[in-house]
Structure formats: C-alpha cells, structure tokens
Structure 1
Amino acid sequence: MSASTPIIAPDHVAKAYCIPFESPLARGLFWRFFKQQTPGVAVYILRTIVILFLFSHSSLLFASDELLDSGRTLTIDFLLEQAISRNLIAGGVVVVGKHDTVLYSVARGRLSHAPDAPPLDERTIFDVASLTKVLATTPAVMKLLEEGQITLMDPLTRWFPEFSGSGREDITILNLLTHTSGLNDIEIAGAEPLASAISEVATQKKWYPPGKRFHYADINFILLGELVHRVSGVGLDEFCREHIYIPLNTQETMFLPPNNLSGNIAPTLSTHNELSSGTVQDTNSRHLGGVAGHAGLFSSAADITRFARMILNNGILAGQSIFSEHIVTQMTAPYFYSNGKVVRGLGWDINSPFSAPKGSYFSDMSFGHTGYSGASLWIDPQRDLFVVLLTTRLDYQNTKMFNRLRHDISSLAVAAFWNKSRGEVVTENGSPPEPLMP
C-alpha cells in the first residue's frame, strides 16, 4: 500500500456517517433489512441515502459529487483536500500507525497558500502548540517521577516557595498535571515574565479549591515546565533533548528552531495576522522566551509517529528504553473524573470537551491531545492504533468545523484499520501492513 492510497470507509463507517436516523431502533431495523439485500441493491440504497444525507447536512465536509466518484468515497486525503478548498487549512499531514509500523501516511497542500510554497510531507516542521504539554512537559515530569526526584503528591510549595502563605498550599503536582489546581490563566509580560507570572498566580483572588473541578489552564503547565528546571537544574528544552528526543532518535523535535530550518517550518498566524515561521505562535510562550511547559515545541509527523509508537510499545522503541512500562501506564491512566463528562490522565486528555480527535471509534482506553495551531495526536493501546494530524491552520474562528475535521479523520482511520469482529489491525487487502516511515 502506498502513501497516497485512499482509505475507503467500510460499512460501519458509512453506517455512522450516512444514515439519517436518530432512533437506535430505526437504525437497527434498517440495518437488519439492509444486510438482507443483494450487493447491487445494497449499494444502490446506500448511494441514495448518502445523497439525501448530504443535501440535508450542507455543512458536512464531504461533497456529494465527489462521494459518488469511483474510488473516492469517504477518504482521509479527500477530507484534507476539502479543508484546503474551504480555506480551513493550507495543508495537512496525517499518519495512522500501530506499535511497530506505519499503516497509512498522506500529505496534502503546501506550507502556505503561496503558489510557490513547498509541499508538505512527514518531515515538515510544525508549531505543535499545546501538544508541548504531552510531547515535552508531561514526559519530562514523568522522567523525574521515574527517577524518584518528585512524587505526584508533592505540594506545590515544595518547589515553589512563592506560594507559601497564599492559601494554595494544598495544590499538588497531580493537580497541575490534571488541570485541577483551580488556578486561572493570565497574560504574561514584564522584564521578568516568569517571576511576575508566578507572583500574580500566587495572589489570584478568583480561584477554585484544588481537586474539585477540571479547569483547563496553561498556567498549570507553565509551572510544570519551571518545575523541571528547578528539580533538574537544566531548562525544559535541554532536559527533553537529553532524556527523550535523543534516545528516541527524533530529527525535527525542538524548542527554538534555528533560522536555517525556517524554509521547512509551517507558518502560523501572529497576533497581527501575519505569517511567521519558526517563532512560537502562543503569546505567553513568546514572552517566556519560546521555551515553556504549555507551548513552544516544534515537531514533525515523522517524529510524533516515533513518540506514539514508543508509547504503544510501553516505553521502548527500536530497542531503546525511554520509559518503564509502569510509567507509561501511570501517565495514561485516568486520574480525574467529573460526572462522567471529563476524564483526564497525567497531562493526557481521555474524555473532555477537547476530545474531538477521539472520533467515534477509538476505545475508552484511548488518550491524546490537541494544539491550537492545528495539531492533534490520539493513541489507543486497546486498538493498537494512533492518528497524527498536523495542519497549517488558516481559519481560527470556525472551531466547530476544525473539530469536525479532527473527529472525522480519526473515525475514518480507526474504521479503516480496525477489524472489530477479529479484534485486530488490518489493511485494506487483508495483508500485513507495509512500513512507510522509519
């Protein structure tokens, strides 16, 4: 299977996307009838329903005339092309894989809308925004935990005496990792931005008791990034490079990419609506010098693929142990529940309002994260699958449509490569998956 081979959705994807029945009973009766038909009649029925569904859902990313083209039905590459044509993104890269190989890889579009912009590929470097939290900060904190230098229940005041006497002594490292500290985000500025930020957060008048509710806030991971510095004695960037990225043999994962790489870095929109390559998009991260626990990391689809495979291999890749199996399990296990609507691991999202990349078919054991710049990663140890999505996002206003893109790509990927009946990963022709990337 080549990297450009379209993924054709099997019948259970068509069922999920194309049947305009809201009632489970109606869907069940229809599918009982549908499965009794001859293949020719079944195809005719399904094509008719697709057309009706598309006419009644004009905001769907799919276009009816393209859907009916031979070999172009419900493909991941087509989703990317439609997102490009709607100016949602300038381009995107998707990788689907399992613990030991890449199952599918596709790149569409260019670094920007400029006609002479180079095309994207799996080595294109992206500002991954909040994926920094799970590709850098969380792994760094877990490495300190593995080495016994910290515990999850360490009070924040052990490492941040600035919080002593603030009434926030009950906040723990666990609270920071699960976004349950109760702290609120702030705008960072000043001659000493980090010191000013810590002082301001320690004296916030409005905050929530720790451990009581999920409140996503970058400040939690800004503090965790500084925690890595205070415990290890080196910056977050240096710590991650030495303990994670070099052992993992990544090539394009770094903070503060040098200028000579700017031609291979996907640009992002600045606060002045200007394109910028190689400078972190997040304003607070920029004010902190570009190295921060919440944002600032740059990476490629190829590198994130290696990270995802390492996680699915219980901390090992190519014979190199990055983490113990216990630490991987601990990092990705659920630690916080809120009325069944929010489930969080250590740094990782399991189920929350931010879980669009979970799609419809990833299991309840899956986990991942998103990035404002257009990045997402979702990993499922039960399915032995992961999906990487990196895009040059253009439209930051249409969040609903962008989350739909994330959701649909994951849904199609899992449906195409996960055989529910046999409980295994499959290829389209049933043969063993062909590696596409190291």
Structure 2
Amino acid sequence: QQELSKAAVTVLKDSSSLVPLDLSVSGTVLLSVSPSLSEAYPFYHQLKQTFPVGWLHANVDSLDAVEARLRPTQRVLVALHSDKVEPYAALLEKLAKDKPLALICFGDMKMLEKIPEVVRHASTVILAHSDEKFVQRYVADLFLDNAYADGRLSIPLSGLFKAGDGLTVDPEAPRQYSPEDVGMNASILSQIDSIAEEGIRLKAYPGCHVMILREGLPVYNKCFGSYTYEGKEPVKENSLYDLASLTKVTATLLAVMKLYDEGKFGLTDRVADYVPILKKTDKARITVQDLLFHESGLPAYWPFYEEAVDMKSCKGGLFRKKPDKNHTLKLAENVYACNDFRYNPEWVSHVPSAEYPLQVADSLFLRSDFSKNMVEQIVKVPLKGKSYRYSCLNFMLLKEMVEKIAGMPMDVYLDSVFYAPMGLRHTAFLPLRKFPKEQIVPSVETDFLRGGKLQGFVQDEAAAFMGGVSGNAGLFSTTQDVARIAQMWLDKGICGDRRYLSRATCELFTTLKSRDSRRGLGFDKPDTEHTDNSPCTPEAPASVFGHTGFTGTCVWIDPDNELIFVFLSNRTYPSVYEPNNLVRYNIRTRMQQVMYQSILH
C-alpha cells in the first residue's frame, strides 16, 4: 500500500526547477496550511535534517504577519494539509507571482480546484493525494534529490492539467542542457562516449563518471561501466568515489584559502609559527607558500605505516628487491612485499574500542594518537633541498596548520564552512559514517597492507593511518559535488546566493604560479612548454587550474572558456600495482581534447 501511495505522487509542473532544490540557496521557508503543526511536522522534519528551512503555520487571523515574514524569502514551499484553503488564496497568488513557489497538495485534488489562480502561477505543483507521514517524507526526499516520481493524472484537473499529465523526477538522471545553448557542438562532444567505453575495454578502469559544465550549465554528464569488472553494480549519478589527491584542493586548499581570506596567516609565514612541533628543527623555516608550491624539501613519500607493523613478524623484512618464498607479492618493479606479517598491538587492534577507535579497514583499528606519531615522523624525515618535489607530506602539514588555526578538526571545519551550506550532500571524509557501502565505489580488491577490499576506506596509506582524515587524501565525493566546488572557484568565490571566498583570494590562488615548476598555489596547472608532460591536453590554455588523484580522478577549471571538466574513476581496482592504463592511453586528456574541439568558433 505504501509503494502504491508513493507511486501516485505526481509532479504536475516544475517551471523554476525547484525539484530538486538547489541547497546552496538560502532563505527557503515552508508555509504549512494545516489544522495543527503536528500534522505537518513529518514534511518539515525530513527537509530540516538536510538543510536549514524556516517554518510557518498559516493562520487566517495573522495573514499580514505571514506575508511580512515571507516577503524577503528567496522561495516558498506551501504544504496544503487542509481543504479549507480559500482564505489563503489571495496571499498565495500574490506570493506565486512574486517568487518561486512550490505548491504541495497532501490531500484530494479538489483542494487545488479551489485555488486555480494559485495553481496557475505557482512554479511547481505536486499532487501527493495523502498526508500520511511516509508520503510527507517521500515528497521531502523528492525536493532533496533522494526519491523518484513518475505519477500521472488519471483525470483532468479543472482545465489546468489534462489526464496523463505529470513529470518524471529521477535523481539518477539529472537535467542536462543543450551544448549548442552555450556554443558547443553536441555531436562532437558525444565522442567522449567512445573514449570512456574504450577505457573500460583497455582495463583502464571498471567504470567512470564524466561531467562537463560550460557557463555553469551541465552540457555533458554520463556514467559508464560498473564498480568492478564483474559488472554487478553500475556506476550511478550519486556513486561516491575516493578522490585521492583531489582532496588536496577540494578539502585542504579550500580551508587554507578561507583562513588566508580571513587574515589568519600570510603566504610567507613560517608554518612552525602555527605547528609548534616544527620549531627548532630543520623544518622551522618552511613557509606556507613552500608547502603549496611543493618546494619545502620534504620527500615525495614516507612509509608512516611501518611504525605500526611488527617487523619481527616479517622474515627478511617487509620488502625485498627480489621475490622469495616470504616475499611473493609484487608491488612495483624490484619491490616485493612480505606475504604474511602482524601489526604491533601497541598501535593496532582487530576489534574497535575506546583505545582503538580509528577504523582503517573492515577489521583494523588504530590507536587514536597514531596520527600524532605520524606528525612526529614528518619532523624527523630528512629534507632534500628546496627544488620542486611533489609530496603528500606538504599537505599533511597544511592540515595540521588548518586545525591549529581553526581550533577544530579539518573535516568538521570544512563541513560547517563549505560542504553543508553549499549543499554538497555527497562529500565526506570517513563516508561509511554517512552512506551505505553499496553507494561507494571500491578502490582496491585486496589491499596488501590492510587485507581485503577497500570500499569506503581511503586507498592512500598515509591518509588511512591518519585515521581517514588527512590533508593529502581521504575525501569521497561525486562528480556533481566536485563540479560545484569548481564552479565556486570559477565564479570567484560565490556559490548559490552566498560568497564563500573573496574575489581577490580566488584570483591569487588560481593564477599565481611558481617560477620553478608548473605548479600554482596548491593547484596543478598545464605544462604549456612541455605538453608531453602536461596533465592537460595541449589545447588547454595556461589559465587552467585543477588537480588529479591517484585513484583516477581529476578536475580542471578553464576561466578563459568558462569550462569545468570532472572525471572520476577507480582505475586502481582491482590492484594499484597493475599498469596505469588511464595515463598510458591518455583517456582524460583525449576527453579534454574533444571538449575543446566541440567549442563552436
């Protein structure tokens, strides 16, 4: 009966695209026309759990006060729970003429027949037929992009709608815009399809999601393949990917830019001023800019996890240059790992507890202070000169600085300052706390270090042993959310109706380039002099900025052409030690090339 009731929910029109709601726009108010607030509460509560929404109860005796309260709002949702709607007709009609208004009828369609002019002028009209609690929650999920609806009218609605009318709302099939509307050729752009499918055939990745925006509009948005080569779970619109080093810009750099914007530090400040453990060490003179440009002298990589391994359990050591009976697992050319080793119980447990709360795999838990041990290891690692050397350690230190200045964990800071207000509902560190495992794309089938499949746990070892929240990796997200962050940079700090970063800060971070490498302030850039080594297609102008990720991810923003290119995949599945066919066959750069070829001149 519940499924039939949900199937009957009918979206009759949606001229202002309120379904789903753009959660980055603030100032939404729900006006409930109901005998009592308790009857209307399930709809409000379901909305309120995801984004801030004001709530008013319609009262005939205070219509002027209701109108005054609604006058400054950006958009209004009107929920009808009572058939006594005539007294509100004039107010609702006036509101519907003035701003986007969604009219939701939690009752018989005769309620709508009593207010035809309101229905005519409303941006969105939804006929839910019932105000059962589960129906109210279901309609709220439609607005939150969490539910599917394809109901149709069985009989005409008083000259406003005819039998059979109704729109399909599908969160897995979002609206796309014609490329021609923004000066691009759709038939050329569609050539990306064959490149994406070729990548699957060449075992570059089991599946991927590609999105292109121009002038803020999604002109290309397609999912290909599956979570694994076995193909049981297809990639969907809201599938979450391990962003790997894309975390550096979509998380750590966002926080750095915000705190810089607020005058909390300068680029030439020494990091030791904010991370005191670096004082009186050879890292004391490293500046914030050194870390952002990857010119700190820190090594490219450091095996932090070895501290957690019981080395006595590894016969012949954890790694060897040649295989033997104890080292058969090939990790790289001339690198073979120990087949069987144990973890040091001082740091690692196979069961969670108050002492071991940090989960790094399905049955592996860390002591909460291991991350402190990792920072101490960074203090001790040898420096190798100040020339350019890409290093995850740089962004791990930036995370430490962010947390000291912000006074809270970086993931909490990012959620409160960026992700939640921007409506990024599918972006999170430690995603298994918020999402079912089935929604998260696996990155590795059998991990040498942690054993078993990595699905919802960050693939990067350093980020994993940081507890899953690190400056270099750990963020999981969707193409839609990554594109929204990119659009905010392209729009010089604005998303929805809010400014998140100043124009000056955005311009500084997205344009400044190192004198010694192609790198920008945290961002990667095209190598216009040596296009063979460039992470972008040769057609990409020098103004482009973005980043790539080890798991097969990237985002590139082109301010000259108002373009955003997002590519997410799990090219590391089933194993990170297979050849990198994503790079070998230039899949991403060829897609970018098609994007530029599609621009109509």
TM-score range normalised by the length of the shorter chain? 0.7 to 0.9
Per-residue Cα deviation, 1:80-138 (whole angstroms, up to 9, x for no partner): 11111122211111101024211111111112223431x21331110100000000000
Distance change (3 Å), C-alpha of 1:170 and 1:264: same
The answer as to whether partners of 2:292 and 2:521 remain within 8 angstroms in 1 is yes
2:357 matched to 1:180? Answer: no
Q: Which residue does the alignment assign to 2:31?
A: none
Distance change (3 Å), C-alpha of 1:327 and 1:76: same
Looking at structure 1, the residues matched to 489 and 276 of structure 2 have their Cα atoms a distance apart, in angstroms, of: 34
Letter paired with 1:380: D
Letter paired with 2:465: H
**1:410 to partner: Cα distance:** 1.0
**1:237 to partner: Cα distance:** 0.4
The answer as to whether partners of 2:298 and 2:382 remain within 8 angstroms in 1 is no
Q: Which residue does the alignment assign to 1:362?
A: 540
Q: Which residue does the alignment assign to 1:116?
A: 232
Looking at structure 2, the residues matched to 3 and 120 of structure 1 have their Cα atoms a distance apart, in angstroms, of: 18
The one of 379, 398, 417 aligned to 2:579? 398
Q: Which residue does the alignment assign to 1:414?
A: 596
The answer as to whether partners of 2:513 and 2:520 remain within 8 angstroms in 1 is yes
1:160-171 correspondence to structure 2 within 5 Å: 160-171=275-286
Q: Which residue does the alignment assign to 1:156?
A: 271
**1:72 to partner: Cα distance:** 9.2
The answer as to whether partners of 2:247 and 2:475 remain within 8 angstroms in 1 is yes
1:3-82 correspondence to structure 2 within 5 Å: 75-82=191-198
1:80-91 correspondence to structure 2 within 5 Å: 80-91=196-207
1:97-246 correspondence to structure 2 within 5 Å: 97-117=213-233, 119-184=234-299, 185-189=301-305, 190=308, 191=347, 192-209=369-386, 213-246=387-420
Q: Which residue does the alignment assign to 1:31?
A: none
The one of 260, 265, 284 aligned to 2:440? 265
Distance change (3 Å), C-alpha of 1:200 and 1:316: same
Looking at structure 2, the residues matched to 309 and 414 of structure 1 have their Cα atoms a distance apart, in angstroms, of: 18
SS in structure 2 of the partner of residue 344 of structure 1: coil
SS in structure 2 of the partner of residue 413 of structure 1: helix
Per-residue Cα deviation, 1:415-436 (whole angstroms, up to 9, x for no partner): 21x33x4xxxxxxxxxxxxxxx
**1:207 to partner: Cα distance:** 2.0
**1:247 to partner: Cα distance:** 2.1
Q: Which residue does the alignment assign to 1:294?
A: 472
Q: Which moved more, 1:268-277 or 1:219-228?
A: 268-277
Q: Which residue does the alignment assign to 1:332?
A: 510
Letter paired with 2:225: G
The answer as to whether partners of 1:355 and 1:369 remain within 8 angstroms in 2 is no
Looking at structure 1, the residues matched to 272 and 567 of structure 2 have their Cα atoms a distance apart, in angstroms, of: 38
Looking at structure 2, the residues matched to 214 and 6 of structure 1 have their Cα atoms a distance apart, in angstroms, of: 42
SS in structure 2 of the partner of residue 412 of structure 1: helix
Q: Which residue does the alignment assign to 2:554?
A: 376
Looking at structure 1, the residues matched to 214 and 500 of structure 2 have their Cα atoms a distance apart, in angstroms, of: 18
Distance change (3 Å), C-alpha of 1:382 and 1:116: same
**1:400 to partner: Cα distance:** 5.7
**1:238 to partner: Cα distance:** 0.5
Per-residue Cα deviation, 1:357-385 (whole angstroms, up to 9, x for no partner): 52122210001100111110000101110
SS in structure 2 of the partner of residue 122 of structure 1: coil
The one of 338, 341, 345 aligned to 2:520? 345
The normalised TM-score by structure 2 is 0.55
The answer as to whether partners of 2:447 and 2:454 remain within 8 angstroms in 1 is no
Return the structure number with greater helix share. 1
**1:142 to partner: Cα distance:** 0.8
Letter paired with 2:593: S
Looking at structure 1, the residues matched to 535 and 567 of structure 2 have their Cα atoms a distance apart, in angstroms, of: 9
Q: Which moved more, 1:131-140 or 1:303-312?
A: 303-312
The answer as to whether partners of 1:72 and 1:78 remain within 8 angstroms in 2 is no
**1:74 to partner: Cα distance:** 7.7
The answer as to whether partners of 1:268 and 1:276 remain within 8 angstroms in 2 is yes
The total of aligned residue pairs comes to 350
2:428 matched to 1:254? Answer: yes
**1:330 to partner: Cα distance:** 1.3
Letter paired with 2:447: T
**1:3 to partner: Cα distance:** 7.9
Per-residue Cα deviation, 1:303-353 (whole angstroms, up to 9, x for no partner): 111111111111112212111111111111223122xxx221111001359
Looking at structure 1, the residues matched to 265 and 533 of structure 2 have their Cα atoms a distance apart, in angstroms, of: 29
The answer as to whether partners of 1:152 and 1:173 remain within 8 angstroms in 2 is yes
The one of 566, 574, 581 aligned to 1:388? 566
Looking at structure 2, the residues matched to 401 and 131 of structure 1 have their Cα atoms a distance apart, in angstroms, of: 16
**1:246 to partner: Cα distance:** 1.4
Looking at structure 2, the residues matched to 137 and 73 of structure 1 have their Cα atoms a distance apart, in angstroms, of: 33
Mark the runs of 5 or more structure 1 residues left unpaired by the alignment. Answer: 14-70, 422-438
The answer as to whether partners of 2:213 and 2:564 remain within 8 angstroms in 1 is yes
Looking at structure 2, the residues matched to 160 and 73 of structure 1 have their Cα atoms a distance apart, in angstroms, of: 48
SS in structure 2 of the partner of residue 350 of structure 1: coil
The answer as to whether partners of 1:4 and 1:106 remain within 8 angstroms in 2 is no
The answer as to whether partners of 1:99 and 1:313 remain within 8 angstroms in 2 is no
The answer as to whether partners of 1:366 and 1:379 remain within 8 angstroms in 2 is yes
Looking at structure 2, the residues matched to 296 and 200 of structure 1 have their Cα atoms a distance apart, in angstroms, of: 20
The answer as to whether partners of 1:6 and 1:76 remain within 8 angstroms in 2 is no
Mark the runs of 5 or more structure 2 residues left unpaired by the alignment. Answer: 1-173, 309-346, 348-368
The answer as to whether partners of 1:369 and 1:378 remain within 8 angstroms in 2 is yes
Per-residue Cα deviation, 1:152-183 (whole angstroms, up to 9, x for no partner): 11112101222222233221011111111011
Letter paired with 2:222: V
Larger RCO (CA within 8 A; separation ≥ 6):
1
The answer as to whether partners of 1:178 and 1:346 remain within 8 angstroms in 2 is yes
Letter paired with 2:373: S
Looking at structure 2, the residues matched to 337 and 4 of structure 1 have their Cα atoms a distance apart, in angstroms, of: 40
Letter paired with 1:412: V
Task: Report the aligned-residue RMSD.
Answer: 2.6
Distance change (3 Å), C-alpha of 1:89 and 1:3: farther
**1:263 to partner: Cα distance:** 0.9
Looking at structure 2, the residues matched to 168 and 72 of structure 1 have their Cα atoms a distance apart, in angstroms, of: 51
Q: Which moved more, 1:197-206 or 1:225-234?
A: 197-206
Q: Which moved more, 1:367-376 or 1:317-326?
A: 317-326
The answer as to whether partners of 1:6 and 1:75 remain within 8 angstroms in 2 is no
SS in structure 2 of the partner of residue 176 of structure 1: helix
